[in-house]
Amino acid sequence: MKILIANADWWLGERTSSALRAAGHDVDTLSRDAELGHDESTDELAAGHDAVIVFGYSEESGHPTALLDRSTRKLYNLLHAASEAGVKRCVYVSTLLLFKDYEENLTVTEKWRSLPPAEDPALLACHLGEYVCKEYARDRRIQVATIRLGFPIVDGDLDAASATGEPAAVSVSDAVEAIRLALTSGKLAQWQDIHVQSQVEHQRYLMHAAHNLLAFPAPSGATT
């Protein structure tokens, strides 16, 4: 596949880009400061790609206006250009931090309403980005899979995530694998929310959608 990754200069974006290239995909990247206006330059960036990955949350601080602009106006322009170019699928990488204020004993699924804290511009921007994607999917202009990653994101594999003792942790290897699977799964609806974390002890979030739609995580000993 030929894949365009937006906001790829975050460290997880860089890891994802490297992993997809290693898997044989042709990957182009855009930084968080990319202009992405409503013009021909954005159209040219999107043209010729099979899929788009957008990192909607990147653990960053910054001016609220810039964060919100990236997740609304710029994202809208990118999705418009992608849909006009015939790109079939967008994978929007969000975060389960949008659900962290629910009590830990509650069974939170993809059907629950997110609770973005107004005092955190990065989470609010990510939340708004989900809605921009959803509107494009509702109009059937592009298929969107929203991957909400657990927290914290831990460098390494399942053992590294387990070592944190955090019930919502996700390892980089699991995060990248879920994103990769979301690019090609044939079981997704036009708009699909999918919660992804590592299978640590006392795991906080259910992953029925990830199991059923992405076959994630793979059974022990299986290869992908």
pLDDT tens-digit map of 174-203: 999 999 999 999 999 999 999 999 999 999
pLDDT the model gives residue 219: 67
Domain count, the chain: 1
Residue 126, pLDDT > 50, answer: yes
Give whole-number Cα distances, 212 to 85, 186, 197, 221, in Å: 30, 11, 15, 18
Q: Global pTM?
A: 0.95
Domain assignment present for 219: no
Between 127 and 58, the more confident residue is 127
Confidence of residue 5 (pLDDT cuts 50, 70, 90): very high
Domain assignment present for 223: no
Q: Is the CB of residue 144 less than 8 Å from the CB of residue 194? A: no
Share the mean pLDDT of the chain: 95
Q: What is the CATH number of the domain that holds 74?
A: 3.40.50.720
What confidence tens digit (pLDDT) does each residue in 69-117 have? 999 999 999 999 999 999 999 999 999 999 999 999 999 999 999 999 8
Give whole-number Cα distances, 19 to 48, 64, 121, in Å: 21, 31, 29
Least confident of 167-171, 208-212, 220-224: 220-224
pLDDT the model gives residue 223: 44
Residue 34, pLDDT > 60, answer: yes
Domain assignment present for 191: yes
pLDDT the model gives residue 60: 76
Residue 220, pLDDT > 60, answer: no
Domain assignment present for 146: yes
Domain assignment present for 13: yes
Q: Which two tokens stand for residue 184?
A: 């090609």
Burial of 39 (0-12, 13-18, 19+ CB in 10 A): exposed
What's the CA gap between 131 and 205, in Å, rounded?
A: 22
pLDDT the model gives residue 224: 43
Backbone phi, psi, residue 163, to 5°: -65, -20
Domain assignment present for 116: yes
Domain assignment present for 222: no
**Domain of 163, in residue numbers:** 2-214
Handedness of CA 128, 182, 157, 55 (dihedral sign): negative
Domain assignment present for 165: yes
Mean pLDDT of 8-25: 96
Residue 221, pLDDT > 70, answer: no
Confidence of residue 58 (pLDDT cuts 50, 70, 90): confident
